[in-house]
Amino acid sequence: MAFMQLVDQGLTHLDDSDIIQKLLPELAGKQILTGYEDDGHGGERPILVPIEEGRKITPRMLMNHTNGTGHTFFNPMMNRYLSSGWDKRNETADPHQTALDAPLMWQPGTHTNYGQGFEWLAVLIERLTGRSLDSVFQGSIFGKLGLQGTGWEESYGGTITSALGNEGVLWPRSLKMTNGEGEESWVVMDPPALATVERKEAYPKGRYHTFPLGTGLVSTASDLGRLLSILLHEGKDPVSGTQILTPSSAAQIMSPSLPPHLRNDSRLVPSAIPALCVPVDLSAEHVDPEGSFGLGCGVQGETRRLKDGRKGRGKGSVYWFGAANTEFWVDGDKGIAVLCEGNYFPWNDAKWTSFVAGVEGRVYEALA
């Protein structure tokens, strides 16, 4: 929403490759990692090739996952590239430095892959406005709507989980572990309270971009539901009547953004860390076989058919699977937004996806 507000203001447009060249030269100048070769000394070295002439990254590509970036949690080859010091060079520990250090994995515009596009979009918003991402979001979205339970966690410079009234409500996350005999146990992943990490070099005073978009945002179900309702009302908040987006921008977010030849070419989400992420093929029969990415979301290609035969979300519904099993979809035809919030790992856990499908089936049975 925040970037589309800048489009609404005329500051840029979705296919503005010049703005990437100008404001994100680090991204525009990256090379593509294609594999590894023997270095002649008993080790290996990465094989890196330049971006092909004429291929340029655009803001649209950052949001529809065709920008060529990878992700250390999902792409084993990128995980391998950043394995030296990986504990500090991954998208959770240090999203900005990881994005700076990582190569591209594909030629831009040739492959769909959930990667670091959102992290670069965060940097683009900050450099385009000259303000911190937190300031932009508070000024143009959260503050306007009076959302008290939404913001960045303290690890990235925020204060949301420790703010008055939020203590112990939004935190912590859990990890489900399964042993060789199939027995499950649960481990709390986070400390009960977080201290805000402040960086003297944080943008705009410095050059380090603290606030990410691929991780770090914390919200309540009620706040998130309020934000999603804006997409159901042509960019207008139905509670306050505040126009957050133009109807055109709201519609673009919810429209398929992938060219037809890419929609089912590569929507497999692999895993480099099985304990945290279970692989999924978004084009699978009971997921979204005809679907696409929109701008920051998935767009259902045909009415979803659940494994038990019931109908699910309709064609054109927008959806997302948050990393901690925080899932939502917005069905414009039915006029509903549905949230299922697990707040635990591993992402795409089989019992969780079964639970969501059960909720989905009942919702649409009731609406039939």
User: What per-residue confidence (pLDDT) applies to 314?
Assistant: 97
From the list 145, 144, 138, 101, the residue with the least C-alpha distance to 119 is: 101
Tell which of 208, 232, 256 closes a domain: 232
Q: Is residue 265 a part of any domain in this protein?
A: yes
Q: Is residue 319 a part of any domain in this protein?
A: yes
Q: Is residue 352 a part of any domain in this protein?
A: yes
Give CA–CA dist 252/258, Å, rounded.
12
pTM (two decimals): 0.95
Please give the structure tokens belonging to residue 259: 């060219």
User: What per-residue confidence (pLDDT) applies to 170?
Assistant: 85
From the list 170, 145, 295, 296, the residue with the least C-alpha distance to 221 is: 170
Residues 324, 353, single domain; the answer is yes
Residues 223, 279, single domain; the answer is no
Residues 283, 335, single domain; the answer is yes
Number of folded domains that form the chain: 3
Residues 65, 163, single domain; the answer is no
Q: Is residue 238 a part of any domain in this protein?
A: no
Give CA–CA dist 204/135, Å, rounded.
11
DSSP-H helix ranges across 157-201: none
- Is residue 306 within 8 Å of 286, Cβ to Cβ? yes
Tell which of 74, 94, 124 closes a domain: 124
Residues 251, 343, single domain; the answer is yes
Q: Is residue 134 a part of any domain in this protein?
A: no
Residues 226, 253, single domain; the answer is no
The residue type found at 343 is N
Q: Is residue 242 a part of any domain in this protein?
A: no
Q: In the chain, what is the greatest distance between 2 CA atoms, to the nearest angstrom? A: 67
Give CA–CA dist 178/155, Å, rounded.
28
Tell which of 232, 266, 286 closes a domain: 232
- Is residue 258 within 8 Å of 293, Cβ to Cβ? yes
Cβ neighbourhood burial of 55 (10 Å; 0-12, 13-18, 19+): middle
| Contacts of 212 by beta carbon, 8 Å cutoff, 6+ apart | 91, 95, 96, 118, 119, 122, 156
Residues 150, 210, single domain; the answer is yes
Sheet with 292-293, edge to edge strand ranges: 292-293, 298-299, 318-322, 326-331, 336-341
Residues 16, 98, single domain; the answer is yes
- How would you write the pLDDT of the chain (368 residues) with one tens digit per residue? 999 999 999 999 999 999 999 999 999 999 999 999 999 999 999 999 999 999 999 999 999 999 999 999 999 999 999 998 888 889 999 999 999 999 999 999 999 999 999 999 999 999 999 999 999 999 999 999 999 999 999 999 999 999 888 888 888 899 999 998 889 999 999 988 889 999 999 999 999 999 999 999 999 999 999 999 999 999 999 999 999 999 999 999 999 999 888 887 777 888 999 999 999 988 888 999 889 999 999 999 999 999 999 999 999 999 999 999 999 999 999 999 999 999 999 999 999 999 999 999 999 999 99
The residue type found at 61 is M
- Is residue 149 within 8 Å of 227, Cβ to Cβ? no
- Is residue 272 within 8 Å of 78, Cβ to Cβ? yes
Residues 179, 213, single domain; the answer is yes
* H or E element in which residue 229 lies: helix 221-232
Give CA–CA dist 153/93, Å, rounded.
12
Q: Which domain holds residue 59?
A: 2-124
User: What per-residue confidence (pLDDT) applies to 267?
Assistant: 75
Q: Is residue 131 a part of any domain in this protein?
A: no
Q: Is residue 187 a part of any domain in this protein?
A: yes
Residues 105, 152, single domain; the answer is no
Residues 252, 363, single domain; the answer is yes
Residues 6, 113, single domain; the answer is yes
